[in-house]
Structure 1
Amino acid sequence: MAQITFKQEPVTLYGSQVKKGEFAPEFTVLDNDLNEVNLETYDGQKKLISVVPSIDTGVCDQQTRKFNEEAAEEDGVVLTISADLPFAQKRWCASNGLDNVITLSDHRDLSFGKTYGVVMEELRLLARSVFVLDKNNKVIYTEVVPEGTDFPDFDAALEAYRSI
């Protein structure tokens, strides 16, 4: 089990860490209308998966906006996954006027978090992280942010996403 910090306090990451060069494992999450969504839903598209602890916080808000704005012209999909309830994600999107942001909830059973190794065990939240997958779901880039309140490396993630 890996360890990071959140608000400078150590937390344990539960699950298997996904590594660059591997094929991304399958997961099941919920969309804002409570429909099940999985990796297969986005077959044939490159994916930037932006993982945030809670969409309703400043750093998570900025991370979600930045990736969606910067990757908008790309031929692919940006997915934001958190353990927030789908209703909270839907409310956040509506109150921020963001119609094209895809937010997905891992609240029900932490399928994504466990499979990708980013569940903060002590908090039952997902660790801030980024995964870039090519059209065949090969992992091109991974980052688990060492301090959960810091931003990911936007430039490196976007460069990996654009290079596919």
Structure 2
Amino acid sequence: MANITFKENPMTLLGEEVKKGDKAPNFTVLANDLSEKTLNDYSGVRIISVVPSLDTGVCDAQTRKFNEEAAGLNNVNVLTISADLPFAQKRWCGAAGIENAITLSDHRDLSFGKAFGVAIKELRLLARAVFVVDSKDEVVHAEYVSEATNHPDYEEALKAAKQAE
């Protein structure tokens, strides 16, 4: 299991760690309109950008970076998943001027967090992580950021997405 800290305090992750080469586990999350979404609702290569909360500086920067960088890639969807309420995600997108971002809420039952091993037991938030899933649902990149307040390795994730295109 991945070991992570939040503000240097050790945290307990729920679920199983997902590794490169694994078949991506399915999950159910909520879109901004409260409709249910699963991994299979998105085709092609998927960059799954996992953030604790869009209302923080690093999460804001991570979401912007992946959406800007992936805009030039063919057949790549960026899914930003957090435990924020769908209403808060929609508000953030409007305030950030990022209307085309796909933000998904795992607030209801932490289905994604448990499936991908990123649900933080102590905080009921998701740990910062990035997964790249190819069109055959194989995980081609998995990064659990060891300190939740740090940035992920953007270049490695984007490289994996380009190679999976």
TM-score, length-scaled by structure 2: 0.97
Q: Which residue of 2 aligns with 1:68?
A: 67
Q: CA deviation at 1:107?
A: 0.2
CA-CA distance at 1:157 after TM superposition: 0.6
**2: distance between equivalents of 1:139 and 1:3?**
20
Look up the match of 2:160.
Answer: 160
Deviation at 1:3, TM superposition (A): 2.7
Please give the per-residue CA displacement for 1:37-94, whole angstroms capped at 9, x wherever unaligned: 0011013x11000000001100000000000000111121000000000000000000
Q: Which residue of 2 aligns with 1:26?
A: 26
Find the residue that maps to 1:137 and give its secondary structure.
Answer: coil
Query: Any residues of structure 2 matched to 1:3-152 within 5 Å, and which?
Result: 3-43=3-43, 45-75=44-74, 76-152=76-152
Residue aligned with 1:60, SS: helix
TM-score with structure 1 setting the length: 0.97
Equivalent position amino acid for 1:68 in 2: N
Q: CA-atom RMSD, angstroms?
A: 0.8
Letter in 2 for 1:91: R
Q: Is the 8 A contact 1:2 1:12 kept in 2?
A: no
Return 5+ residue gaps in structure 2 as ranges.
none
Does structure 1 conserve the Cα–Cα contact (< 8 Å) formed by 2:2 and 2:144?
Answer: no
The one-letter amino acid paired with 1:138 is: E
Shift of 1:2: 3.7
Q: Distance in 2 between matches of 1:97 and 1:22?
A: 35
Q: Percent identity?
A: 63
Structure 1: 4+ residue segments shifted above 3 A: none
